[in-house]
């Protein structure tokens, strides 16, 4: 299975602007830029999109593991906070912190934490930094 997202950027790093789109069309030319990434400007940014993807992936992984244990969550709320830090001349994503609250009848805190830990380790987005990264680069005239 493959899914894709795309971005178009025009201009310099501070004065330029871009748009991000997704295969399903949920994101269609959503604006992003320097101000939405490093300040409080309008639009989205890669870190919040990664956080949303991580939170959604983790919630689904947790739901699946709960089901495998004979449990069903009434509700799972997950927030993934992505930390972007200055690293020399550039930036590095250094942390992703999951905050999860769930209502799961039939389990206790210790049982829930054990299953949540499995979901944290097994979620594909949690594993993303271990992924093989490939690239095709084409310079257009």
33 pLDDT exceeds 90? yes
Q: How many CB atoms sit inside 10 A of residue 29's CB? A: 11
For each of the domains in the chain, give its residue range(s) and CATH number, in order of start: 1-44 (no CATH), 45-131 (3.30.300.20)
141 pLDDT exceeds 70? no
Half-sphere exposure in the Cβ direction for 103 (13 Å, CA): 2
- Residue 96's pLDDT is 87
Q: Which of 80, 83, 27, 26 is nearest to 58 (CA)?
A: 80
CB 61, CB 119: distance < 8 Å: yes
**What's the distance, CA 2 to chain centroid?**
16
CA 76 to CA 36: how far, in whole Å? Answer: 28
| pTM for this predicted structure | 0.88
In this predicted model, what pLDDT tens digit does every residue of 59-109 receive, in sequence order?
A: 999 999 999 999 999 999 999 988 889 999 999 888 888 999 999 999 999
Question: In 16-92, which ranges are continuous DSSP H helix?
Answer: 34-38, 46-68
The torsion defined by the Cα of 121, 122, 127 and 131, in degrees rounded to 10, comes to 140
- Residue 128's pLDDT is 84
In this predicted model, what pLDDT tens digit does every residue of 100-131 receive, in sequence order?
A: 999 999 999 999 999 999 999 899 998 886 66
CA 110 to CA 1: how far, in whole Å? Answer: 35
């Amino acid at each position: 299975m493959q899914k894709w997202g795309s971005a178009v950027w025009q201009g310099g790093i501070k004065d330029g602007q871009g748009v991000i789109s997704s295969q399903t069309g949920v994101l269609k030319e959503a604006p992003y830029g320097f101000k939405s990434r490093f300040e409080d400007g309008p639009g989205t940014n890669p870190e919040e999109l990664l956080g949303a993807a991580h939170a959604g992936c983790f919630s689904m992984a947790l739901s699946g593991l709960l089901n495998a244990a004979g449990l069903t969550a009434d509700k799972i709320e997950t927030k993934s906070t992505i930390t972007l830090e200055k690293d020399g001349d550039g930036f590095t994503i250094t942390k992703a912190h999951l905050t999860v609250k769930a209502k799961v009848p039939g389990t206790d805190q210790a049982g829930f934490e054990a299953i949540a830990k499995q979901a944290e380790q097994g979620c594909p987005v949690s594993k993303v930094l271990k992924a093989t990264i490939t690239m095709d680069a084409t310079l257009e005239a």
